[in-house]
Structures are given as C-alpha cells and as structure tokens.
Amino acid sequence: MSNPSKTTEVQTFEPRIVAFLCKWCSSAGSDLAGVSRIQYSANATPITIPCSGSVSPMYILSAFNKGADGVLISGCHPGDCHYMEGNYLARRKLYLVKELLQFIGLESERFRMSWVSAAEGVKFAEVVDEFVEDLRVLGPQNRLKAER
Amino acid sequence: MEKILSQEKLREWVDALDDCEVYAPAFADSVWNFARVKAGADIDLSHTNTIGSVKEFAFPQREVFFCFEKKDGVPVLTPTLPDPKPTVVFGVRPCDGRGMPRNDTVFNKEFEDPYYWARRNKLTLVGLACNQPHSPNCFCQSVGGSPHAEEGLDILMTDLGDRFHVKGVTAKGVEAMERGRDAFDAVSDADQAEVEKVHATSRSHSQRPLGNLDAIAEAIRESFDSPLWADMAQHCIGCGICTFLCPTCHCFDINDEVINPTTGEGERVRTWDNCQFPDFTMHTSGHNPRGDLGSRLRQRVSHKFLYFVENHKTQQCTGCGRCITECPVGIDIIAVLERVGQS
Amino acid sequence: MTDNIYLPKIGRIVGINEETLGARAIKTFKVEFPNGDGFEHNCGQCAMLSMFGKGESMISIASSPLVKEYKQFSIMKMGRVTSAFHAAKIGDFIGIRGPYGNQFPLDDWKGRDLVFIGGGVGLAPIWPVIQTAVARREDFGKITVFYGARTSSDIMYEADFEKLKASAEVQLSVDSPEEGWPGYTGFVPANLMDKAPTPDNAIAITCGPPIMIKFVIQNLQALGFADEQIYTTIENKMKCGVGKCGRCNVGKDYVCVKGPVYSWAELKSLPQEY
Amino acid sequence: MVNVEEIRGYAAGLLEKGEVKSVLGFRRGSASAFAEPCTLIEASDAASLVWDPTCLNNLALYLVKDRKQQAVSKTPDTRPVGIVAKGCDSRAIGVLLQENYFKREDVVVIGVSCEGTGVVDPRKLSAKLKGRTASRVTFDGADGINVSVYGDGTETVIPAREVLADRCLECRAATPTLNDVVFGETVEARGYNEPFHAAKEAEKVSEDERWANWEHHFDRCLRCFACRAVCPMCYCPECVVDSTTFVVTLGTSAEEKANRIRWCERSANTSESAVYHLTRAIHLAGRCIDCGECERVCPVNIPLRLLNTKLEKEAFEMFEYQAGHDIEQASLLSSFRDEDPNSFIR
C-alpha cells in the first residue's frame, strides 16, 4: 500500500553518496563519463584514492557517521591492479565490512563495490545511477548518522 | 510523613505521578538498570542494585553546554541548559542515595554548576532500604552508611513483604507522596514495630569491615610513594568500569564536536571521563603526572578516602561495591585499603 | 539565574606579537571584549581560552591587572587549541572565561626586595607581577628580574625589558654562547648563583620549565632563601577550570582553584603530581 | 580431570629452575566467586593456583602488558613468562606469535584442557539469579554447575549447558594446540552448539530487527573501553578511534597533535559508539580467537562477541581461515585467493 506522503519524500530526496575511486581505473572511468557527456546522477561525491586496497574501513564508517546515504568503493578489475594485488586485498576486506554492516542491520543496499576500468565511463554512470535509484527508495540514512 | 503502601497500590501511586518522568530498576540484558516506567503496572522493585548509579540523572554521560556557530564572522553561542520534566526515580538504594549529596558538594563548591543543578532540582529520589546485602561486596556500614540510610533520599521505602513502609524525608518527597495520597494508609504501631525490626535485621548482616577510616586516610597519605600501588595495579587493564559505575565519581571531559566544518557550527559537550585513562592527566607536552596504572589506582583510592575527606570531611565512597563486583580482574578496593593500612 | 560557568565571553584579538619562532613558537595575543563584558583579574590568575570547534586551554593572563582595556596572553604552540591560536589573525574572535585560580600575595610583600626568575614561556605568569610591582615601585625594595631563553631570539617581551630597566635590575641570559651577546651565557639557575641576590627581606618568584624550577629552587635555598620566601606556579592539564572535572589535582588541591601560585613551603607539603 | 596439583607443581618447577621469570595463572580472589588473574614470582606461590570453570580471563593479555613494560624498561627482564592457557587463550598466543609480537621462546605455555567443559558466563548466571550474586561456583563433574547464591545461601545445580559461555558451547578446540605441556585429557569439543551458533542465530532475524538490537546496544555503551582494554589483540599503543590513548612524546609536534583525526567523538551516543565497536570488530577480523573477554567484561552486557564471531564465521566459511591455528600462515587481510567472493561487486 502506498503512502502518499512517503512518495513525495522519495521524489524530493536526493541521496548523498561518498564514492572512493581508485586513481588508476575508476577515477579515470568517472572522468571519461564526464568528458563523454554521459548524463548521470550528480549525487556522488568522488574521493580519489591511490587504490581500492587503501580504503580503510574507517573511511566507510566515518562517511556513514557524517551522514552519507550510501558509500561506493570502486577499483580496477581483478588482475588489473596497478599495485598488482591491491584490489584483491580490498575485495576480501570490504567483503567483511559489507557483512559486518549487514549484520548490525544497516540497509544492505547502502554499501556498494564496483570494478570500473578507465575505459568504462558508461559503466560508471550506470553504477551511480542504479545506486541513486536504490537509495531513493530507501530514503535517508539515519542508522549510523551522528545525531548531533 | 510516614505511610503504609500495599504492594498492589504501588502502581496507583506511580500512576498518580503522571506529570513526572518516572524511572525504576528493570531487569534487561541480564542486568538491573534504571529504565523509564510508562505505567505503574510495570514497576518491579525486586531488584538487587542497578548497574548504573543514580548519578546519571543529574550528571548524564553526555551534556551539551552550548551550541556555537558563526554569524557574519562573529561567534554566536546558544547555551543549552536542560529543562527536564520533574523526574522521580524509584528503587534507589541507600548507597546511591548517599552518593548524591557528595556529588552535590562537588557541583556546588566554589562555582555552581548550572547544568547539574537544572537536572538535580527536578529530581526526586525514592529510596528502597536493603533488607539484606545484595552481594558480598556491599559495605555501606563500613563507610558510615546503613542499609536504610536516608541521606540524599527524598523518600525511603522499606519492603515489609506484602506492603511498604514509606517515609517522606524531604519536602520534595512529602510532596510526591501527597500526589498519590489515596494510595497510602496510616502506619499502625505494629507496622512501626516491624519497620524497626526489619531495619535492625538489615544492619545485623555482616559486611566487609574497613576499620578506622581516619587511620586509612593517614595510611594512604603515608603510602604515596609506596611500590604497593604498582603492585596492586599489576593486573589492572585501565578501563573505565570502576569509575563510570561509581555513584560518586564525577570527573568529566569537555570537547568541541563540530557539526559542520564549513560553517563552524558545533557543540561544546561534557562527557564522563575517568582517572584510569592515560590521557586524563597527560599534559599537551606528553608529560604525565600520573603516567602509570599504579598512580592512577592510587588517585582513585586517595580521592575517595583521603582527598575528599580532607576537603569535605567525609569519604567519597558509599560502599555500593560496584567497582569490586564489576572489575574484570578482581581489583578490590577493600583489599586495597587493607593492604595500604597494613603497610 | 546563576551564572553559567561554562559559557565563555567573546573576546577579539586586537594585536598579535610574534615573541619567538621555531617548532614551539610563542605569540602574544592582545584581547579586547567587544561586548563590554570584560573582567578584572589578579596577578597570577589564568583564563580558559576557547577556539570554537577546537576546544579550550588554560592560559595565564600575562597582562597587568592595572590594564583594564585588554588582556594579554602569551601562548606557546603546543597542541590543537594553541595551534589554532597561532593560525589566528587580528580581528578573529575567541572565547574566554575566568579569571581562575589564586594570586601572588603581592600586598604581603610590601617593603621587601623582589627577585623574579623566569625561563622561556614561564615569564608570562610572572609578568603581571613584575608590571604591578614596577607600577607600585615605592611599595617594594630592590626589584631584580632574571630571565633566560635558549637564544637571544627566543627572548620574550624584548622591547618591554628595555623599559623595565628603568625601574628594575634586569639579568638576561642565553643557554648557549652567542657572538655579541652582552648578557650572561648559561642556564638560568647558574646566572642566579652568579649574581647571588641576597635573601634578606626578599621574596623570590620563579616560573619556567620544570627542570629549571627544580634547580632554581635548589640554588635559592643554597643562597639562604627560606621555603616561605620562594613562590612559583604549577600547571596541570585542566578542562573545567572550576574544580570539578577532577584531573588537575595535586593531592587534595585542584590547581585550577587552589593554585596555580604556591609558596615552596606549601608545595613541599603536597605530593609530587605535576 | 585436570589435577590442579599438577599445574601447581609444574609452575613451581619452572620458577624453581629459573626457566621463567613469572607464571601467569588464576587464584581465588576476594572480589567474587570467579577466579582472578595472578602473577607468580616465587615457586612457593604456586600453591595458590586454581583451575575450574571460573577461570574466565584470557591471560595472554598480560604477555602483551609485560612486553610493553619491558620495551620501556631501562633494565628489561627478557626471561620467558609462563602462562596457564585454555584452548582459546593458546590461540591468542598463536596470533601474537603470528604477528611477531614476541617469540615462541619468550613464553612457556602451560596448556590446560577444558575437557569439553569450558567456563561459566557470569551474564548467563546473572540472568538465572536475576541479578543476585553467586558466592560459590563449582563444576560438579557431570553436566552441572553448583551455585551457592549469596544472601540466602541456597544451593542450586544448573545444567552446564545453560550457564556455560557461548564460546565454550561452540568451542572447536578445547585443548590448547599451542603448548609446552598440557594438563587434562584431550577431549573433542562436546558440541553443545555448532560453531558460530550464536552469530548464526543473530543473522536470522530481519534487517530492521537486527538494527533495533544493535541500536539498543550501541546506545547503552558507556565507552568505558573495557572491551578494548581486556583484549590481547588490541595491543596498539594508540587506538585509532579515540583520544584517550593518544601517544604524545616530547618530540610530538604541535601539528601532529593539532591535526590528529577524530574518527569518532567521545560522546557515548549511538553513532559514535557504533563507529568504535565496528572499527574494533574489523580490526580484529581474522585475529579474534574467540576468548569472549570483550563480552564478559562489558558492564552493561553488550553481546560484543557476536560482532567478532560473525567475522570469524565469514573468514572460516568464505576464506577457510581460522585465527590462531597456524602461526606460519599469512594473516587474513594480507592474503587473498582468486576464488574469493566476487559476486557482490558490480
């Protein structure tokens, strides 16, 4: 049953995404999306990092604490890491972060990971668009957000 | 004012306090702690002692002092003095009750603490005498208290089995009783005799002795440089359990929490702090006057049994025993005082 | 309603003087009260200064109580709050509450010689005493000021020392040899021994790094100063400034209330926790 | 049955021969019915050692503490330390060895088999007694725990299953694998509960219920940091999430102090406590050996062990990794396999 007031909220709510993008692939991928003039949601604040493997779980927790509605980590495809194995290490670590966040009941859609190469501007735009749509349905993230 | 309240009518009295926030002990998560009572029927006074002490009603773990922001480049401060509803706390054990006047002293002396008093003035403490000690670590009588001490309480209730004896100790307490006046009955001579008997029996239970408190203070003074402290703190893990649960530990920290770094908006916040943490006394330079666990144990014990006595003529310990029972490694303040006394 | 002891007044930085440079630079800030809610203070008292968003620090008031229009604070760059002060510009606003603590018993010292011994930023707490003593010159006997810094460029209040020479004997020292340095070369306690001020009817007031204070007091005692004739100030980490937060105690005393000024006779009776 | 006299004799022997500088063990304390940690220096002290289901602590913590003390001591005593260790405690030593915190020859592990019994969970006991205190707790040799209740002196026998710690019910290695000697029989775990049972149960409820539970718990956290302080794996001199352990030396620059990131505030509210506990859980992933100490010491009974065992469950099921089982293996988060899960990534 649809709730009219909720529908309005979903329509006006603009999710805020913090996107940690590896400098070698995903950040370049997002640049490509930009220079290719692909229309996609402007809800993601990109933070370029040296490698998806360099993402500390603290970044993710801190982003949610500061009010992010979603956190995206994006790195090079397996086998393509500039540092050989950073993304493999990231995959393991972030799998555990994902499981932990789900375990305590943060909505599982709020944390996402993707492999986006420098050539995949379209994919990057899709990833962000999909994420934004899913977050719109969920509404604002209040579970881990600081209540100050 | 002294009255009798049957077990069934307790809920009636509580319901009559409907313009107040009522709290009472509740057993949840395998532990007794104060919880909001929504209806009189929920109240359960079969508790031992609560894990948290009653201090948190006047001295919450987090208190916002004021909000700050910048308007046209000028800081604007908005004080956030609390304005709570009148709050009545049931089931306060006499050790916790005695803790409050000691906290009052701290938040009164030299400078009056407006945040503490905004809450404290709205607080009515309904005590429940302990008919028997809850744990082998209860030692209220060894620090000048008693299982039915009235000090610090507004009302003292005594469990007489099927009914309570209820004594209004302060004007605030009497007023709270007046509000539920229909629930109370008069005290008969037999009731009076029974209360006295219950109290006498409660005092007769053996508690761990401390000996002469003046001698203890002197022994602590003499042992400041003793290696005993380091030895007794050998297994201390340096956590905050003993102080956070203590009904009289009042140390706090003040920090600025920034909400919006762009606008400079934020809050200045008081939080509980603890003399057992390493940074508690550490200077900005890194120099730390109490840099090891031994000196921190010494501080906790000295504060309660020497410094507070020197400043305010009474111990800052009411014998609730929480710090002993809850210590993860068995550090026992009575045993500590015994060893210091013997040294 | 009672005063809110935790609510700072708003102060405005109207002057900044770079006293010394380096990793632990010292700057002196002149602060006015734009809302007209300034306060009086006594020699030796401190104030809790705020940088909103960073926190508070207890800083001794370095200006003379006789100066009513502004207050002065000499702040060494040490941590979060003091770094924020060092990044501040003229016109910036700060929070300020106080004054806190006891004072130097200047009135008890009438008619006596005063010997001031300062080192580094430790000059700041005793500076208002020097200023007041000089302003009430006829109340006191001989006034001598010993001050030492690591190098001549680390000397605080350099210009003021020149003025001071008119009414007091000034004995400056630097720790290591410097070409063209007219004053004493060596540590402050050594300079003190070298000049050997008389203890007769004198009061010695010292403040500086703990190690300096230790040797100054030893040397004062060697010169014949009694414990009651020696005054110093101590510091501990403080948060509330009003004797409640529980961390600055030395034995039973909260330094923020009972201190920071102690005679050596008093300090000796307290445990060494500072 | 473990004969405590044998443990005492062995400990006394180590001290007599000077093979160790001290022995970490358990003794009866004055504070409660549960044993307390002790450090024996003299062989004659060994008589005070006890061994029973009230020996809750993971004493490996004190190996870490000793290491830290020796590191700053002007006259470090580098002789080995003897330690009474249960199965889980020995795994903690295993992880510390794997992480090169100290060397194998620095420690003499006096292993004690729990023989499938385990230790009592004070929280469960408290629930049974509705907050009342036990003045004596003993194992009756069968499947029961004898409890004397303080005050009225009642004696009750509680089925072990109902008051043993969850970690013991789920234990897979009750006998210390890393040891210099083992007392007691090597017994397979009794298998009261399947491994990770409690975490699996917690996973079963809906997302909203899970959050409701954890919000409730994070909100109750006092931030006394006992969970961290008691954990042998939380040996960092400075914890990333709070300022109470910020290491400052005379050489620390003003900038370092001023620019230190505050990942979470000191306020004990839900959001900040969540950052603290989740960070701790992640930092223990692949390192938590399930000694349950964090959960035991929590004064408000936050089920912290669940966070850690959830991650150990994932490590085991997805990466075939068990913390503390092989001191030669690469750590969980410094290794990977091609077949690690990938389907969760877009």
Q: Which of A86, A110, A89 is nearest to A98 (CA)?
A: A110
Q: Name A24's Cβ contacts closer than 8 Å, sequence gap at least 6.
A: A51, A76, A81, A82, A118
Q: Which chain A residues have a beta carbon less than 8 Å from that of B266?
A: 148
Task: Confirm or reject contact between D264 and chain A (CB < 8 A).
Answer: yes
Q: CA nearest B241 in D: which residue?
A: D224
Chain C adjacent subunits, 3+ CB pairs under 8 A: B, D
Instruction: Dihedral sign for Cα C100, C102, C104, C108, please.
Output: positive
Q: How far apart are CA D227 and CA D239, in angstroms?
A: 13
pLDDT at residue D190 in the model: 67
Mean pLDDT of the B107-129 span: 96
Beta-carbon separation of C247 and B251 below 8 A:
yes
Q: How far apart are CA D177 and CA D93, in angstroms?
A: 11
Q: How confident is the model at residue D102 (pLDDT cuts 50, 70, 90)?
A: very high
pLDDT at residue C264 in the model: 96
The answer to whether A22 and A75 have CB atoms below 8 angstroms apart is: yes
Domain assignment present for residue D237? The answer is: yes
**Min CA distance, C46 vs chain B (Å)?**
16
Mean pLDDT of the B100-105 span: 97
Is the pLDDT reported for residue D189 higher than 70?
A: no
Tally C-beta pairs within 8 A across C and D. 20
Tally C-beta pairs within 8 A across B and C. 121
pLDDT tens-digit series, residues D218-241: 999 999 999 999 999 999 988 888
The answer to whether B152 and B101 have CB atoms below 8 angstroms apart is: yes
pLDDT at residue A5 in the model: 43
The answer to whether B44 and B24 have CB atoms below 8 angstroms apart is: yes
Burial D242-276, CB ≥16 within 10 A → b, else e:
bbbbbebeeebebeebbeeebbbbbbbbbbbbbbb
Structure tokens at B247: 């009904």
Domain that holds residue C46: 9-100
Q: CA nearest A108 in D: which residue?
A: D207
Work out the percent of chain B whose per-residue pLDDT is above 70: 100
pLDDT tens-digit series, residues A55-107: 999 999 999 999 999 999 999 999 999 999 999 999 999 999 999 999 999 99
Nearest to A95 among D240, D265, D318 (CB): D318
Beta-carbon separation of C274 and B117 below 8 A:
no
Q: How confident is the model at residue D140 (pLDDT cuts 50, 70, 90)?
A: confident
Q: CA nearest A147 in B: which residue?
A: B259
Quick one: which H or E segment has residue C211?
A: helix C210-223
Domain assignment present for residue C262? The answer is: no
**Min CA distance, A26 vs chain D (Å)?**
12
pTM of the model: 0.94
Decide which of D161, D193, D225 is a domain's last residue.
D193
Same domain, D283 and D301: yes
Number of domains present in the structure of chain A: 1
Q: How far apart are CA A55 and CA A22, in angstroms?
A: 9
Q: Which chain D residues have a beta carbon less than 8 Å from that of B30?
A: 123-124, 126-127, 301
Same domain, D43 and D115: yes
Q: How confident is the model at residue A3 (pLDDT cuts 50, 70, 90)?
A: very low
Is the pLDDT reported for residue B141 higher than 70?
A: yes
Decide which of B166, B185, B204 is a domain's last residue.
B204
Q: Name C167's Cβ contacts closer than 8 Å, sequence gap at least 6.
A: C134, C137, C143
Most C-contacting residue of D250, D257, D261, D265 (CB-CB within 10 A), to test interface: D257
Domain assignment present for residue A4? The answer is: no
Same domain, D297 and D202: yes
Same domain, C155 and C183: yes
Cα three-residue angle C146-C150-C155, rounded to 5 degrees: 60
Q: How far apart are CA A19 and CA A144, in angstroms?
A: 17
Decide which of C39, C69, C100 is a domain's last residue.
C100
The answer to whether A105 and D304 have CB atoms below 8 angstroms apart is: no
Phi and psi at residue B316, to the nearest 5°: -100, 45
Residue A35's region, left for phi above 0, alpha for psi from -120 to 50, else beta, is alpha
Domain assignment present for residue C161? The answer is: yes
pLDDT at residue C3 in the model: 86
pLDDT at residue D240 in the model: 85
Same domain, B243 and B279: yes
Task: Confirm or reject contact between D258 and chain C (CB < 8 A).
Answer: yes
Is the pLDDT reported for residue A6 higher than 70?
A: no
Number of domains present in the structure of chain B: 2
Same domain, B188 and B253: no
pLDDT at residue C1 in the model: 40
pLDDT tens-digit series, residues D40-83: 999 999 999 999 999 999 999 999 999 999 999 999 999 999 99
Is the pLDDT reported for residue C162 higher than 70?
A: yes
pLDDT at residue D144 in the model: 87
Q: Which chain B residues have a beta carbon less than 8 Å from that of C88?
A: none
pLDDT tens-digit series, residues B166-179: 999 999 999 999 99
Domain assignment present for residue B128? The answer is: yes
Q: What is the 3-state secondary structure (H, E, C) of B42-56?
A: HCCCCCCCCCCCHHH
Task: Confirm or reject contact between C24 and chain D (CB < 8 A).
Answer: yes
pLDDT at residue A11 in the model: 60
Beta-carbon separation of D345 and A113 below 8 A:
yes
Beta-carbon separation of D36 and B235 below 8 A:
yes
Decide which of B204, B221, B251 is a domain's last residue.
B204
Same domain, C83 and C170: no
**Min CA distance, B19 vs chain A (Å)?**
28
The answer to whether A76 and A115 have CB atoms below 8 angstroms apart is: yes
Assign B274 to helix, strand or coil. coil
pLDDT at residue A148 in the model: 67
The residue assigned the tokens 């104030």 is C47
Same domain, D53 and D181: yes
Q: Are strands B74-79 and B87-92 parallel, antiparallel or unpaired?
A: unpaired
CB count in 10 Å sphere of residue D282: 22
Domain with residue C45: its CATH number is 2.40.30.10
pLDDT at residue B318 in the model: 97
Nearest to B289 among C3, C236, C252 (CB): C236
Structure tokens at D86: 């249960």
Q: How confident is the model at residue B262 (pLDDT cuts 50, 70, 90)?
A: confident
Phi and psi at residue B62, to the nearest 5°: -135, 125
Domain that holds residue D218: 198-328
Task: Confirm or reject contact between A37 and chain B (CB < 8 A).
Answer: no
Task: Confirm or reject contact between D263 and chain A (CB < 8 A).
Answer: yes
Q: Which chain D residues have a beta carbon less than 8 Å from that of A67?
A: none
Domain assignment present for residue B118? The answer is: yes
Beta-carbon separation of D150 and B241 below 8 A:
no
Number of domains present in the structure of chain C: 2
Assign B105 to helix, strand or coil. helix
Mean pLDDT of the B257-261 span: 90
Q: How confident is the model at residue A4 (pLDDT cuts 50, 70, 90)?
A: very low
Q: What is the 3-state secondary structure (H, E, C) of B178-235?
A: HHCHHHEECCCHHHHHHHHHHHHHHHHCCCCCCCCHHHHHHHHHHCCCCCHHHHHCCC
Task: Confirm or reject contact between C72 and chain D (CB < 8 A).
Answer: no
Same domain, B105 and B221: no
DSSP class of D15: H
Q: CA nearest C3 in B: which residue?
A: B114
Burial D114-136, CB ≥16 within 10 A → b, else e:
bbbbbbbbbbbbbbbbebbbbee
Nearest to D341 among A95, A107, A127 (CB): A95
Same domain, B306 and B187: no
The answer to whether C204 and C262 have CB atoms below 8 angstroms apart is: no
Decide which of B185, B204, B223 is a domain's last residue.
B204
Q: How far apart are CA C24 and CA B306, in angstroms?
A: 39
Decide which of C77, C100, C123 is a domain's last residue.
C100
pLDDT at residue A2 in the model: 39
> Could you give the C-alpha distances from A101 to B108, C89, C210, D278, D314, in angstroms and in order?
45, 44, 50, 8, 13
Domain assignment present for residue C218? The answer is: yes
Angle, helices D60-72 vs D87-98, to 10°: value is 40
Decide which of C233, C251, C267 is a domain's last residue.
C233
Beta-carbon separation of D297 and B48 below 8 A:
no
If you count them, how many residues does chain A have?
148
CB count in 10 Å sphere of residue D277: 25
Cα three-residue angle B226-B231-B232, rounded to 5 degrees: 100
Q: CA nearest B252 in C: which residue?
A: C245
Number of domains present in the structure of chain D: 2
Domain assignment present for residue C249? The answer is: no
Domain that holds residue A21: 16-137
Same domain, D182 and D202: no
Instruction: Dihedral sign for Cα B280, B283, B285, B288, please.
Output: negative
Q: How confident is the model at residue D173 (pLDDT cuts 50, 70, 90)?
A: confident
**Min CA distance, A78 vs chain D (Å)?**
9
**D 174-233 residues with CB below 8 A of A?**
199, 202-203, 207-215
Quick one: which H or E segment has residue D215?
A: helix D207-220
- The ipTM, to two decimals, is 0.93
Domain assignment present for residue B225? The answer is: yes
Residue C53's region, left for phi above 0, alpha for psi from -120 to 50, else beta, is left
pLDDT tens-digit series, residues D200-219: 999 999 999 999 999 999 99
Q: CA nearest B32 in D: which residue?
A: D131
Most C-contacting residue of D243, D250, D253, D266 (CB-CB within 10 A), to test interface: D253
Cα three-residue angle D151-D153-D158, rounded to 5 degrees: 110
Domain that holds residue B281: 213-264+273-342
Same domain, D58 and D185: yes
Same domain, C229 and C147: yes
Q: Are strands C202-207 and C230-233 parallel, antiparallel or unpaired?
A: parallel
Same domain, C151 and C75: no
Which residue has better confidence, C89 or D116?
C89
Q: How far apart are CA B174 and CA B177, in angstroms?
A: 5
Tally C-beta pairs within 8 A across B and D. 146
Domain assignment present for residue C263? The answer is: no
Domain assignment present for residue B69? The answer is: no
Q: How far apart are CA A47 and CA A45, in angstroms?
A: 7
Q: Which chain B residues have a beta carbon less than 8 Å from that of A148?
A: 257, 259, 266-267
pLDDT at residue D242 in the model: 77
Domain with residue A35: its CATH number is 3.40.50
Q: Which of C71, C208, C171, C168 is nearest to C128 (CA)?
A: C71
Same domain, B157 and B233: no
Q: How far apart are CA B174 and CA B81, in angstroms?
A: 27
Assign B335 to helix, strand or coil. helix
pLDDT at residue A10 in the model: 47
**Min CA distance, B263 vs chain A (Å)?**
15
| pLDDT mean across residues, chain D | 93
Q: CA nearest C258 in B: which residue?
A: B110
Cα three-residue angle D283-D287-D293, rounded to 5 degrees: 90
DSSP class of D145: E
Q: Which chain B residues have a beta carbon less than 8 Å from that of C3?
A: 112, 114
Most B-contacting residue of C37, C245, C256, C257 (CB-CB within 10 A), to test interface: C245
Least confident of C197-201, D246-250, D308-312: D246-250
Same domain, D212 and D259: yes
